[in-house]
Chain A
Amino acid sequence: MQTEHLIALDEFCASNNIELSFINSLQQTGLIEITTIQDSWFIDEDQLLLLERFTRLYYELDINFEGIETITHLLQRVNALQDEITALRNRLSLYE
């Protein structure tokens, strides 16, 4: 059975000095997934980096949730395009 690593969101909020309502809004916009266990909120460890990024965008750059959503979508596209460029470069080397 695979072990899930969950991070308590109240601890995350306390250590980063942010409101739990911020996390709730991120969940409502579908940017992160929250697991509820006995009335406590957790996120999967895999999503921690994302959550930290959203926190920085929101608190440091004053970007609202719509902006974060747009940025996330565009960054996904950038990553996909970068992967495609790498694959095409590798293919091009066949003809060099």
Chain B
Amino acid sequence: MDFVDYYKILGIDKTASSAEIKNAYRKLARKYHPDLNPNNQDAKANFQRINEANEVLSDPVKRKKYDQYGKDWEHAEEFEKQRQQQAQWSGSRSSGYTGGSSQNDFSDFFESMFGGGGTGRSRQTKFRGEDYTTEIHLNLVDAYKTHKQTLSVNGQNIRITIPAGVENGQIIKITGHGGPGVNGGPNGDLYITFSVANHPSVKRLENNLYTTVELDLYTAVLGGEITIDTLDGKVKLKVKPETQNGTKVNLKGKGFPVYKSEGQFGDLQITYSIKIPTNLTEKQKALFEELRKSR
């Protein structure tokens, strides 16, 4: 457990007055408050640190204890026992900010010195529980089909259905699966961010898929039939004679499923890449030569 320098966190001197502490705290709270920094985990962590610093430094009793034993916090318990025998705990309250989360976001250092969480807003308020955030990593094939997945969030297993067509970076909210409410307030929500990895051969843009298919020279020149792999299985395609390199073919409805729109799909665009034969035999070269002369 590391020592936490609350003065440094608030950017103030050890001799700072309560007004200076309040000002420094308010300034930083406005900068890092989670309401002003949505989905910013760094800001949230900073906010928790400054909230904790204020919790201690704005309370004269806690500040005195911190100033006296801060760096040597292991002796705080001893100090506490002695102090309890000598005097009654005044139980004064400071006015910390909630940041829309529960009250249990204090460091181990704080807990060891002062026990429990902070006092939060001085009004006896029902707090909505903390919102949890998590990330689910999927590959393109997983995201193609509706499927169920079990998540473990803060020791709790949650089984969710992931609808087909979920996008990379998309955030979905699971109501009531965040932290528990305080003083009878409602539970927070769980926000899941999806990270959909790229497929080695198929690119996705919204609901359309893009892929490149190699075509041998003879099929490209003479035409024919090929079978290609799609995310939905194999598809047979007719190749027109004299197909040029880079020719694009659009397969309607063979793309990615549209999110929460059953039966609707984007398109699959295929680009032909014509492969020139290599390692030709003398006879093959002669045939090509003959072909050239005939043109």
Question: Which residue from chain B places its CB closest to the CB of A57 in the assembled complex?
Answer: B35
Contact with A along B200-215 (1 / 0, CB 8 A): 0001111000100000
Q: Are B97 and A61 in contact (CB under 8 A)?
A: yes
Q: Which of B35, B98, B198, B204 is most buried by chain A, counting CB atoms within 10 A of its CB?
A: B35
Q: Which of A48-94 contact B (CB under 8 A)?
A: 52-53, 56-57, 59-63, 71, 75, 78-79, 82, 86, 89-91, 93-94
In the assembled complex, B38 has its CB within 8 A of some CB on chain A = yes
Q: Are A75 and B38 in contact (CB under 8 A)?
A: yes
Q: Which of B99, B167, B203 is most buried by chain A, counting CB atoms within 10 A of its CB?
A: B203
Assembled-state Cα–Cα distance A30/B250 (Å): 48
Interface segment, B119-127, B147-155, B235-243, B286-294?
Answer: B119-127
Q: Are A94 and B203 in contact (CB under 8 A)?
A: yes
Interface of B is mostly: loop
Q: Are B35 and A53 in contact (CB under 8 A)?
A: yes
Q: Are A96 and B125 in contact (CB under 8 A)?
A: no
16 sampled A-B residue pairs with Cβ under 8 A: A16-B126, A52-B128, A56-B33, A57-B35, A60-B29, A60-B99, A60-B121, A61-B26, A63-B30, A78-B38, A79-B38, A86-B168, A89-B168, A89-B169, A90-B204, A94-B205
Q: Are B125 and A17 in contact (CB under 8 A)?
A: yes
Question: Which residue from chain A places its CB closest to the CB of B99 in the assembled complex?
Answer: A56
CB contacts (< 8 Å) of B169 on chain A: these are 86, 89-90
- Rounded to whole Å, the gap between the CB of B189 and the closest CB of chain A is 9
In the assembled complex, B61 has its CB within 8 A of some CB on chain A = no
Q: Which of A56, A78, A96 is most buried by chain B, counting CB atoms within 10 A of its CB?
A: A56
CB contacts (< 8 Å) of A89 on chain B: these are 168-169
Please give the residue numbers on chain A whose beta carbons come within 8 Å of chain B beta carbons, in ascending order: 15-17, 52-53, 56-57, 59-63, 71, 75, 78-79, 82, 86, 89-91, 93-94, 96
Assembled-state Cα–Cα distance A61/B204 (Å): 43
In the assembled complex, B36 has its CB within 8 A of some CB on chain A = yes
Q: Are A52 and B100 in contact (CB under 8 A)?
A: yes
Q: Are A90 and B167 in contact (CB under 8 A)?
A: yes
Assembled-state Cα–Cα distance A63/B26 (Å): 11
- Rounded to whole Å, the gap between the CB of B106 and the closest CB of chain A is 17
CB contacts (< 8 Å) of B33 on chain A: these are 56-57, 60-61
6 A-B pairs besides A57-B33, A60-B33 with CB distance below 8 A are A15-B125, A17-B125, A75-B38, A86-B168, A89-B169, A90-B205
Q: Which of B38, B121, B124, B205 has a CB less than 8 Å from the CB of A91? A: B205
Assembled-state Cα–Cα distance A43/B23 (Å): 34
CB contacts (< 8 Å) of B198 on chain A: these are 93, 96
Question: Which residue from chain B places its CB closest to the CB of A67 in the assembled complex?
Answer: B30
Question: Which residue from chain A places its CB closest to the CB of B35 in the assembled complex?
Answer: A53
Assembled-state Cα–Cα distance A46/B96 (Å): 27
Assembled-state Cα–Cα distance A78/B37 (Å): 10
Q: Are A16 and B38 in contact (CB under 8 A)?
A: no
CB contacts (< 8 Å) of A53 on chain B: these are 35, 100
CB contacts (< 8 Å) of A15 on chain B: these are 125-126
Assembled-state Cα–Cα distance A15/B39 (Å): 27
Q: Are B205 and A60 in contact (CB under 8 A)?
A: no
